[in-house]
Amino acid sequence: MDTHRHDHDHHDHSHDPAGHANGRAGHSHAPASFGRAFAIGIGLNSAFVVIEAVYGYASGSMALVADASHNLSDVLGLVAAWTAAILAKRAPTPRFTYGLKGSSILAALFNAVFLLVAVGAIAWQAAWRLFNPEPVAGVTVMVVAALGLAVNGGTAWLFASGRKGDLNIRGAYLHMVADAAVSAGVVVAGLVILLTGWIWLDPLISLAISALIVWGTWGLLRDSTAMSLSAVPRGIDPAAVRGYLEQCPGVTQVHDLH
């Protein structure tokens, strides 16, 4: 009886990690159809980074230059997310017995941290320009930012369908939405600057959008960190699970519940 109980408990112990791994797969395995979305997103954003950086310096707009830096971080983030999606399809090996599905979680964590770093750089530059205003070419800012809004909004749309079922896709989606928000803010700033001459609005809009991005990224950082540490998923009560298992016939004690 003791042997049976030990085997049964051991089975529960080994089954739970597997279930947890399967749960990870459900949240982190990118569908094959998103490979095309990654390719298009990387291509469009890479081209736009060059265009935005050149016109940003030419027009004197810190918002455009900062947005170009932000877009560059997103290109690198998309590359990391796509790489993780490919690795997640690898078959398990004697060393990586669950395969490499966890790489998608690491990519989501990387995206969140990288985005926060990029936002920090934007905020720093915006704060400096706020106290050291320089002339800004409003029309150029509006046109380039509008192009960025189309590129980022379109790329976000490519990932929209997978944002709820895959943490990696969610990270890519949030990156694109954040960039679209920045571009929209820059368009508004360019219009107001053109009409009023308020050049201080350029860095002020950048600071406001940076705060919104930090707020939106916090959830991704929290979830990806928790999953990388194998934390209990939100909405699951460990005590309730333990109580249910202890009531199962033949089980006298539950230990090392995962």
Query: Could you read off the pLDDT of 120-178 as tens digits, one per residue?
Result: 887 888 888 888 887 878 888 899 989 999 998 998 888 887 656 666 678 778 878 88
Mean pLDDT of the chain: 76
Q: How far apart are CA 122 and CA 62, in angstroms?
A: 9
Buried b / exposed e over 63-91, threshold 16 CB at 10 Å, is bbbbbbbbbbbbbbbbebbbebbbbbeee
Q: How far apart are CA 75 and CA 111, in angstroms?
A: 10
Q: How far apart are CA 116 and CA 239, in angstroms?
A: 35
**Torsion angle of the four alpha carbons 85, 89, 91, 92, in this order, in degrees rounded to the nearest 10:** 40
For the chain, the domains span 32-229
- Residues in contact with 96: Cβ distance below 8 Å, sequence separation at least 6, in sequence order: 90
- Residues in contact with 73: Cβ distance below 8 Å, sequence separation at least 6, in sequence order: 114, 115, 117, 118
Q: How far apart are CA 38 and CA 174, in angstroms?
A: 14
CATH of 32-229, one of 1.20.1510.10, 1.10.287.70, 1.10.760.10, 3.40.50.2300: 1.20.1510.10
pTM: 0.60
